[in-house]
A and B are shown apart, each in its own frame.
Chain A
Amino acid sequence: MNRGLVIDFRLDAHSGVAPYLQIVQQVRQALLLGLLTEGDQLPTVKQVVAKVAINPNTVLKAYRELEHEGLAAPKPGVGTFITRSLSQASLAEQEPLRQDLVAWLARARAAGLTDAGIQALFHNTFRNTAEEDR
């Protein structure tokens, strides 16, 4: 079954994450895990909706987001292809950010914030800045 399909998508209706973002995250995750590499074709919109029963526009939006992030590019009349591998190099790019976060977490704990408090602060700030960026 599903020969020729490199990856499958799944949708969690109760995750609170927008369906198109779930697809984007699953592609990113597949890239990080090495399941997808440069040149791979993503499932066509028709394949995805026939499998997952979601709105085709959701898939299109996810693929556009991946294009915007420079992870994929469309070949007209053929489909959408992965243009970049998320190899260890990009993980290395994340290292300074991770170190910032570790330092920030240490400051938050020193200031007396509990784990729950830290999470609430992060989520609220994350959401607010994400909305401002929209």
Chain B
Amino acid sequence: MHAITDFMVNDHRSCDGLLVAVEHAVVNAAWATAQTEFARFSDAMRYHFAAEERVLFPLFEQSTGMYHGPTQVMRAEHTQMLQLLASTASALEAADSDDYAGSAETLLIMMQQHNLKEENVLYPMCDQHLADQLDALLPALQRQIAGQDESTR
């Protein structure tokens, strides 16, 4: 009954881990490593957003008829996180640790409060409404998250 929640939460935690790697590189002033790690993190985030916006949310919207509910808010928050990803990337390019700390901290809190809403409210609703579509849904989510959908790359 929690298949979607478990799958998506797992990917949230994996993105968290990638951000930690960037933070450690910045603290050690290893800017080149930080940029490489950040690229991995940023890709993982974009793939996660794509999995939601292309696969999960449309299915949820179709099955509940809620087109302007929680999914709309989540899309708007994705846009805000993409802006923060861009400002964090600029701080890394400029090797500015203060700017990096500010952008990354804001991104972290934005990300986690967004994750909380999804993990506590939206994903359980998806589990409730999409239980009969898991066989097709989970592999489709997996493809997006692995970055195997060419159009997201």
A binds B: no
